[in-house]
């Protein structure tokens, strides 16, 4: 059977080479006679796997030495609470709301502490970023939280410097981490669920500057305390071993592709092709300000919504699946993460043009 092009927002496609390697190593990892799934996380084999994964991730993202890399669980959603629980220390924090995900993070932070809104673009349908004049930073914020790629609305912050303040910046990078180089030193903490652009679900990446550790109140549950997780090498309890292993294979695959600078070039080419096709058409429409259109998640609507169902059905016949948009936005959404090859976007674009012609 042929592999299809899966445009799902997450869990999403993984590189075929990674899946093949995982298959080849499934029953007997490196001659040890068992699967990674069956190994103790305290043994030398798994210790080597997690150490290599961390080293490769540090190399790819050029993580400075004064940052800890944590392999956690609970998804990015758990971080919405874990971040304020660890970092507020009785103060409030500033939240920028530019889409569905940062709105959720803001709401959750207010559940466990006090979060202030810096700006929200909700009244313009989350189709743009706020201008400098709209930003109202709080006087004593413990940090500024933002989402650098809004997966549902397709809004990406291409220039984080526009939101630089004197306080640590905390960024939800779930849906574009590893899609481009990032200057980690500009952030206090970055995080993301793995299932979009990193590996299988069940693993959450947190990269945190060391001076932000140790601020948690004494009654914070042990599992939620970043300092304790860091002291224990993310192995306070059983970590998601198989997800860490596959993520490690993805890191090695990324290095083979030439690292994040090379991935960025491919991702720019893929996104450009898709947006050009949308903009040149009279059937498809993307509402996002071109200055902040996402390279990873491309929502678009059909000017004749009565064609939505046949678009999805015809696409499926061409091996193009999971293209239906999020219910909040409607229409379609093509998620084109690292593992989506240029050929997949070319196939989508060819289908879209053909579909438009047939339905003119």
Ligand X SMILES: *Cc1c(COP(=O)(O)O)cnc(C)c1O
CA nearest neighbour of 60 among 265, 268, 258: 258
Instruction: Give kind and range of the element (H or E) at residue 206.
Output: strand 204-209
Residues 6+ apart with CB under 8 A from 35: 25, 26, 27, 28, 29
State which residue, 129 or 302, has the beta carbon closest to ligand X: 129
Total residues at interface with ligand X (CB under 6 A): 12
| Candidate list 29, 172, 225, 253, residue with the active-site label | 172
Whether residue 29 lies in the annotated active site: no
Longest dimension (CA), the chain: 65
Cα(175)–Cα(327) distance, rounded to whole angstroms?
A: 18
Whether residue 196 lies in the annotated active site: yes
Helical segments of 148-287, H only = 226-231, 241-256, 259-280
Cα(312)–Cα(122) distance, rounded to whole angstroms?
A: 28
Query: What x/- string results for residues 67 through 106 when contact with ligand X is judged by CB under 6 A?
Result: --------xxx-----------------------x-----
CB of 128 to ligand X, least distance (A): 17
Query: What x/- string results for residues 112 through 151 when contact with ligand X is judged by CB under 6 A?
Result: -----------------------------------x---x
Whether residue 45 lies in the annotated active site: no
Query: What x/- string results for residues 182 through 201 when contact with ligand X is judged by CB under 6 A?
Result: -----------x--x-----
State which residue, 105 or 212, has the beta carbon closest to ligand X: 105
- CA dist 146 → 65, 159, 241 (Å): 24, 12, 29
State which residue, 39 or 336, has the beta carbon closest to ligand X: 336
Cα(322)–Cα(8) distance, rounded to whole angstroms?
A: 5
| Binding status of residue 172 toward ligand X by CB under 6 A | yes
Positions touching ligand X (CB under 6 A) are: 10, 75-77, 101, 147, 151, 172, 174-175, 193, 196
């Amino acid at each position: 059977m042929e592999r299809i092009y899966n445009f799902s927002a997450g869990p999403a496609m993984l590189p075929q080479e990674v899946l093949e390697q995982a298959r080849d190593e499934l029953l007997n990892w490196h001659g040890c006679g068992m699967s990674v799934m069956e190994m103790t996380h305290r043994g030398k084999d798994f210790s080597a796997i997690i150490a290599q994964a961390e080293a490769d991730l540090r190399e790819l993202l050029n993580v400075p030495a004064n940052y800890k890399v944590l392999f956690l669980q609970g998804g990015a959603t758990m971080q919405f609470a874990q971040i304020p629980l660890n970092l507020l220390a009785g103060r409030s924090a500033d939240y920028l709301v530019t889409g569905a995900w940062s709105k959720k993070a803001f709401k959750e932070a207010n559940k466990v502490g006090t979060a202030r809104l810096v700006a929200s673009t909700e009244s313009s349908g989350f189709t743009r970023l706020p201008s400098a004049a709209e930003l109202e930073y709080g006087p004593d914020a413990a940090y500024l939280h933002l989402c650098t790629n809004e997966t549902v609305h397709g809004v990406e912050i291409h220039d984080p410097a526009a939101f630089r303040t004197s306080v640590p910046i905390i960024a939800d990078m779930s849906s574009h981490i590893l899609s481009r180089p990032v200057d980690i030193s500009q952030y206090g903490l970055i995080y993301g669920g793995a299932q979009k652009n990193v590996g299988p679900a069940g693993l959450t990446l947190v990269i945190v500057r060391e001076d932000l550790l140790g601020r948690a109140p004494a009654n914070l549950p042990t599992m939620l305390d970043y300092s304790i997780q860091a002291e224990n090498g993310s192995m306070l309890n059983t970590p998601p071993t198989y997800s860490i292993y596959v993520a490690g294979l993805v890191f090695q695959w990324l290095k083979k592709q030439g690292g994040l600078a090379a991935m960025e070039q491919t991702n720019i080419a893929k996104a450009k092709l898709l947006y050009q096709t949308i903009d040149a058409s009279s059937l498809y429409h993307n509402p996002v300000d071109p200055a902040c259109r996402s390279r990873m998640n491309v929502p678009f609507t059909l000017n004749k919504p009565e064609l939505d169902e046949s678009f999805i059905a015809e696409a499926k016949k061409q091996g193009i699946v999971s293209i239906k948009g999020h219910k909040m936005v409607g229409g379609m959404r093509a998620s084109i993460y690292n593992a989506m090859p240029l050929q997949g976007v070319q196939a989508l674009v060819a289908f879209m043009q053909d579909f438009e012609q047939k339905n003119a």
